[in-house]
Structure 1
Amino acid sequence: MVKDTRKKIVNAVLRIASSDKTKGKLTLAEIANEAGISRQAIYQKHFKNTEEIFKYIHEEIDNKILSVFSENVLTDPNVSLIYERVATYLLPVIYDYREWLKILYNSEVDLKWRKYLFDNYYTPIITYLEENKINVSPLTTKQTVRISIDYTISIISVWLSEDVPMHPSIFSKVFLEVINKSPISLINRK
């Protein structure tokens, strides 16, 4: 029962965000109205505030993705295969959450989503690179990781923002082509 009500609350948040009913911060009253339950029920039994709702959404989306990332992407010391492992293992799991992610990437309802992702992936990637003594960039390892995370998130958010995102079996080839090029080479096709 609690899980079902939480799902109703989350779906209400996502409906509000996707319908442009809000241009910023949501209130529990708006969410309760959309979910068809009382604000008090949300507050007393499920979430104390909207930040708790977004924390729950983040964890619901990212727990499985982070697990797959840790178990399948950062397991081989051959860093040249890291993006192939992302394409093979991670993109299908990300695709499963495409409806939620499309809203998080394209609305202003949750401005902490990208920071949440960065915070979750930064340390494991830094540790992986330092353990394998990898960095051929003219930048520091930390700077390189920040750019890599931002670039990867940008590619994924563009993919999932399409009305009908390509299936991961098709998009994985596109992802690898894009990730292996600099942004300028994507623009300048001479």
Structure 2
Amino acid sequence: MARSKTSSPRSTPSAGRAGMIRLISGQWRGRKLPVHDVDGLRPTTDRVKETLFNWLAAEVRASRCLDVFAGSGSLGFEALSRYASYVMMIEKEPKAARQLQLNLQTLQCSQAQVICRDALQVLQAGCSEPFELVFLDPPFRKNLLPQVIPLLEQQGWLAARAVIYLERENDGEPPVIPPNWQLLKDKQAGQVCYQLYLRESPSA
């Protein structure tokens, strides 16, 4: 997903493509959406995004999606284009969150909500209606995944068989993954590694 990332130039695989995201497939195929010029914004590259949504071909339609660190909304908008039923986008940077809202208005899309708050605060508050698909692509080198992953499990954010996408820098310490998350896919592209997990109910 496109996210606000603070990273060195060599770890920014989308350098030179800031300012616009492109929707790959679905009802808005080929549409380009503006991205607010926020320092460190690092949209997921088209190459990685296409691989991810090939993995998710059977998972997106009619699913409830959570984009925890939305940034430019690249993954959330792609899910909406592919007929997700609802997408919650969490983005704490006000200008980036405002651009997400403007892009939803441009698309005349009412199946999404933008929450302009710190993701950890939102997740700590809990969730009464869990999500089937979750995008986890936090700012690089902030060590957020070890904090976010337990909150998703403990605060009711994940459906029994939720699918979780995780993207991170490949030179960092891997986060501890819950034992009930089954690794489905694992790839690397440049300075980024990304995985797809299937959550099993802890009581299963």
Higher helix share: 1
Report which of the two structures shows the higher radius of gyration computed on alpha carbons.
Answer: 1
Please give the TM-score of this superposition, normalised by the length of structure 1: 0.28
Bigger fraction of residues in strand: 2
TM-score between the two structures when normalised by the length of structure 2: 0.27
